[in-house]
Structure 1
Amino acid sequence: MKQLKLLGISTTLVLAAGCASSPKPATQTAAPTSTQVSKSSQSAESTIEGNIPAGSPFAKIQIGMTQGQVHEILGQPTDTKAYQTGKAWIPFYFGPDTMRTDEFYKGVGSVTYTGAGIGGVHWKVFRAVYNPAEDGFAK
């Protein structure tokens, strides 16, 4: 009886391991068709939005740039706001998206950074929104 039970457990483990290692089909995403979204990578939420003029310094901003690189391009922000994401409350989540900070540039737009995790804070551009009507202050 015990041998039969052990055989059943080991068979289940083998089947589970086989299912876990099966290849998943690759998926392709279509290129953005809207003129509002100019660049995207990392995740579906990571975007650079707005009708950015070609000569604008904001056109140089890219997803994944460091906060220092953005400050070299745009200068210091008018105002900032930092907050936790919901991922900060997930037990055993050690990823980089537990904190975010928004920087507001009057007459230019806003840049959102993510990057706080178990290894410390390494701010990287997560989202940027070009908006010439930006008042420059956190809401």
Structure 2
Amino acid sequence: MKQLKLLGISMALILAAGCASTPKPAAQTAAGSTQVAKASRTSESVIEGDIPAGSPFAKIQIGMTQGQVHEILGQPTDTKVYQTGKAWIPFYFGPDTMRTDEFYKGVGSVTYAGAGVGGVHWKVFRAVYNPAEDGFAN
């Protein structure tokens, strides 16, 4: 019985340690632009690119709603919607079962995460500033 209790506590600690993550801080460059380092794992939320300080893209933050982003950047040139692997996990009701990518020509792309239970509520998951963006899902 004592071993079973110890096993349960160990598993809870392992799960808690695996779920913890901290966002990467932004660094200011000499020209006043914000540059955010790439995430070490693809599942981390991050804003990437050498964003000019006066650019509307500099106002984008992780967790913003799709409507807030559209107020800042306008309507995207193209979009792409897809399911993540988490959609197939039984009894997973978290916020990352679906994603949508929005592409802005000459600006970059914004990825939203959302859940399909009770309607999709898109929140910014990742943003990539790229002035060479062609604006279309390839």
> TM-score by structure 1 length?
0.74
Q: Which residue of 2 aligns with 1:134?
A: 133
Distance in 1 between residues matched to 2:131 and 2:104, nearest whole Å: 9
Question: After TM superposition, what 4+ stretches of structure 1 lie above 2 angstroms from structure 2?
Answer: 10-22, 24-36, 117-120
Partner secondary structure for residue 106 of structure 2: coil
Partner secondary structure for residue 113 of structure 2: strand
Deviation at 1:11, TM superposition (A): 4.0
Distance in 2 between residues matched to 1:87 and 1:27, nearest whole Å: 18
Deviation at 1:37, TM superposition (A): 1.6
Q: Is the 8 A contact 1:112 1:127 kept in 2?
A: yes
**Alpha carbons of structure 1 residues 14 and 48: separation in structure 2 relative to 1, 3 Å:** closer
RMSD between superposed Cα atoms in Å: 3.3
Q: Which residue of 2 aligns with 1:93?
A: 92
Distance in 1 between residues matched to 2:89 and 2:45, nearest whole Å: 21
Q: Which residue of 2 aligns with 1:53?
A: 52
**Alpha carbons of structure 1 residues 29 and 104: separation in structure 2 relative to 1, 3 Å:** closer
**Alpha carbons of structure 1 residues 17 and 85: separation in structure 2 relative to 1, 3 Å:** closer
Deviation at 1:95, TM superposition (A): 0.9
How much identity, in percent, do the aligned residues show? 76
Show structure 2 runs of 5+ residues with no match: none
Q: Is the 8 A contact 2:24 2:36 kept in 1?
A: no
Q: Which residue of 2 aligns with 1:120?
A: 119
Deviation at 1:120, TM superposition (A): 2.8
Partner secondary structure for residue 136 of structure 1: coil
Bigger shift: residues 60-69 or 91-100: 91-100
The number of residues matched between the two structures is: 128
Deviation at 1:118, TM superposition (A): 3.1
For the pair shown, the structure with the greater C-alpha radius of gyration is 1
Amino acid at match of 2:68: Q
1:1-139 alignment runs, 5 A limit: 10-16=1-7, 31=25, 36-37=35-36, 45-139=44-138
Amino acid at match of 1:82: V
